Amino acid sequence: MATEPLTPALLLHRRPFREQSQIIDIFSREQGRLALMAHGGRERRQLLQPFQPRLLAWRGRGELPTLTAVEADGHLPLLQGDALAAGFYLNELLLRLLPRHDPQPLLYQRYAQSLQQLAQQGLEAWSLRLFERDLLAAIGYGIDLQHDATGSPLQPQQRYHWIDQVGVLPHSGAGAALTIAGATLQALTAAHPPAPIVQREARQLLQGVLTTLLGEQPLQSRELLRRPPRLTVVT
């Protein structure tokens, strides 16, 4: 009998199904987000924990393949407090916005890096911003961090505003609910956290764009995280 290959994956969500089974949502490095039927007893259920790297195999081509194997693929410290809330936030974003069966190896790498940072260093807000940036790019809503919507290079001192499905345009001084400095947009290419005021502006922009995509149903996990007053994105 052929053996299904093991592939790196991380658990996003699980819910009981009958007495000894679960339906699990996973983010796989090779196949993207998908749902699996997981049968098994206590030992397997203990392995199927969120925020822990796993090697999984499954069989079936329909909407709900069957999990056939699960192995540990290393171990991360348990998330606690704000770091745990942040982990749930990342998972909920993926569940709400990432289509199924759409391989996203670079986003998977960013997600795994974010979890590792949360586990080892606690809540690092800039790590969330980089994940939001890359998630938007993966689903076709990436923000150009070098040019405005007209193709002109961003100017660090210029204020810009975001228009849905258009991009950023120079701010004329009126009519925009949210403006952001060119320097803040450029800072979103940096791996290391910029100044706090830059981080706040980046947060307002990215979460404003995400709110537009999420629609009227808010993220439950976002309520667990500390946040400034919400600003509306121009549509």
At 17-67, the pLDDT tens digits run 888 899 999 999 999 999 999 998 788 888 999 999 999 999 988 889 999
Dihedral of CA 118/120/122/127: which sign? Answer: negative
170 CB-contact burial (10 Å; exposed 0-12 / middle 13-18 / buried 19+): middle
Q: How many Cα neighbours within 13 Å face the side chain of 18?
A: 7
- Residues 20 and 41: beta-carbon distance below 8 Å: yes
The pLDDT value recorded for residue 176 is 63
> Rounded to whole angstroms, how far apart are CA atoms 126 and 10?
21
At 124-154, the pLDDT tens digits run 899 999 999 999 999 999 999 999 999 999 9
Domain 81-224: give its CATH code. Answer: 1.20.1440.120
- The first and second tokens of residue 4, run together, are 């299904």
Per-residue HEC secondary structure of 139-181 comes to: CCCCCCCCECCCCCECCCCCEEEEECCCEEEECCCCCCCCEEE
> Rounded to whole angstroms, how far apart are CA atoms 172 and 156?
16
- Residues 138 and 107: beta-carbon distance below 8 Å: yes
The pLDDT value recorded for residue 226 is 53
The pLDDT value recorded for residue 20 is 83
- The first and second tokens of residue 137, run together, are 């790019």
∠ CA 183-187-191 to the nearest 5 degrees? 165
The pLDDT value recorded for residue 117 is 93
The CATH fold of domain 7-72:
OB fold (Dihydrolipoamide Acetyltransferase, E2P) (2.40.50)
The pLDDT value recorded for residue 124 is 87
The pLDDT value recorded for residue 196 is 94
For the chain, residues classed under CATH 1.20.1440.120 are 81-224
The pTM of the full predicted model, rounded to 2 decimals, is 0.89
> Rounded to whole angstroms, how far apart are CA atoms 90 and 84?
10
For the chain, residues classed under CATH 2.40.50.140 are 7-72
Query: Residues 178-204: what's their mean pLDDT?
Result: 94
Dihedral of CA 78/83/88/93: which sign? Answer: negative
At 82-105, the pLDDT tens digits run 999 999 999 999 999 999 999 999
